[in-house]
């Protein structure tokens, strides 16, 4: 694999997304939208999380950008239940896409992407390493998440290892984006005078966010190094 340095597009996109969010908060009625979204989600009661999981799964199959829904899960449910909703929804959606590519639309997906040199290299590595390779790719994806779900259906990996590697490999990134949504919700509530947290609590939230970002970056870098050795 080439040693040429590549741009950290994942983190550039994340930074741009945060910047866009800041600008949107300044010029759009985000707080009102947030309140309406939360009330609508809470109207489902205990079924709200299950409903969100279903929406997330369908959106994943339809190529809707996952980070939007993951941040939204943090806004709607907070860090713990938001992570549960986003992680399970993304995993179910990734599983559906995998099964569609393997059993329903294999010919179409193979015709469109099967000749890609990058996919062929990944396919060869998965054939040798199995779930380990899928887990590493989930931690530091070389191809977009929604597309990769279909491409994995063309590889030799078995269903159960794929499912478990996807579930575990997506956890760090999911926690990060849900945390961003949770922090954003708290910040907007505070700007409207609805937040009741002390300065110390906000400091701990900020420290937790920074720690989550650092851990996610370190895990992604470790995954990239491992991928370079295996492909």
Q: Is 176 exposed, middle or buried (0-12, 13-18, 19+ CB in 10 A)?
A: buried
CA angle 59, 74, 18 (to 5 degrees): 85
Rounded to whole angstroms, the Cα distance separating 196 from 190 reads 8
Residue 143 gets which letter from DSSP? S
Tell me the pLDDT tens digit for each residue of 6-57. 555 555 555 565 566 555 555 556 556 655 666 677 677 778 889 889 989 9
Tell me the pLDDT tens digit for each residue of 185-222. 777 666 655 555 555 555 655 666 666 566 556 556 66
Tell me the pLDDT tens digit for each residue of 48-106. 889 889 989 998 998 888 888 888 888 888 889 999 999 999 999 999 999 998 888 77
From its phi and psi, is residue 64 left (phi > 0), alpha (psi between -120 and 50) or beta?
beta
- Beta-carbon-side half-sphere exposure of residue 197 (alpha carbons within 13 Å): 18
Check residues 97 and 127 and name the one with the higher pLDDT: 97
Structure confidence at residue 99 (pLDDT): 93
Residue entry with tokens 């992570």: 83
Q: Is 114 exposed, middle or buried (0-12, 13-18, 19+ CB in 10 A)?
A: middle
Residue 1 gets which letter from DSSP? -
**What's the pTM?**
0.70
Structure confidence at residue 141 (pLDDT): 61
Structure confidence at residue 87 (pLDDT): 95
Residue 104 gets which letter from DSSP? I
Check residues 148 and 186 and name the one with the higher pLDDT: 148
């Amino acid at each position: 694999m080439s040693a040429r340095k590549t741009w950290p597009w994942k983190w550039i996109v994340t930074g741009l997304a945060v910047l866009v969010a800041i600008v949107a908060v300044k010029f759009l009625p985000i707080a009102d939208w947030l309140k309406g979204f939360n009330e609508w989600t809470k109207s489902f009661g205990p079924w709200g999380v299950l409903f969100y999981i279903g929406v997330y799964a369908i959106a994943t199959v339809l190529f809707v950008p996952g980070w939007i829904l993951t941040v939204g899960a943090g806004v709607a449910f907070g860090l713990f239940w938001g992570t549960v909703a986003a992680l399970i929804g993304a995993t179910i959606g990734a599983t559906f896409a995998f099964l569609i590519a393997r059993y329903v639309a294999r010919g179409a997906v193979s015709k469109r992407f099967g000749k890609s040199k990058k996919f062929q290299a990944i396919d060869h590595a998965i054939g040798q390493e199995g779930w380990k390779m899928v887990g590493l790719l989930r931690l530091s994806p070389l191809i977009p998440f929604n597309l990769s779900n279909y491409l994995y259906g063309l590889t030799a990996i078995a269903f159960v290892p794929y499912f478990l590697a996807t579930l575990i490999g997506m956890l760090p990134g999911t926690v990060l984006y849900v945390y961003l949504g949770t922090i954003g919700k708290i910040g907007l509530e505070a700007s409207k005078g609805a937040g009741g947290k002390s300065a110390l609590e906000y400091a701990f939230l900020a420290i937790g966010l920074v720690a989550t970002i650092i851990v996610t970056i370190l895990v992604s870098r470790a995954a990239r190094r491992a991928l370079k050795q295996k492909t």
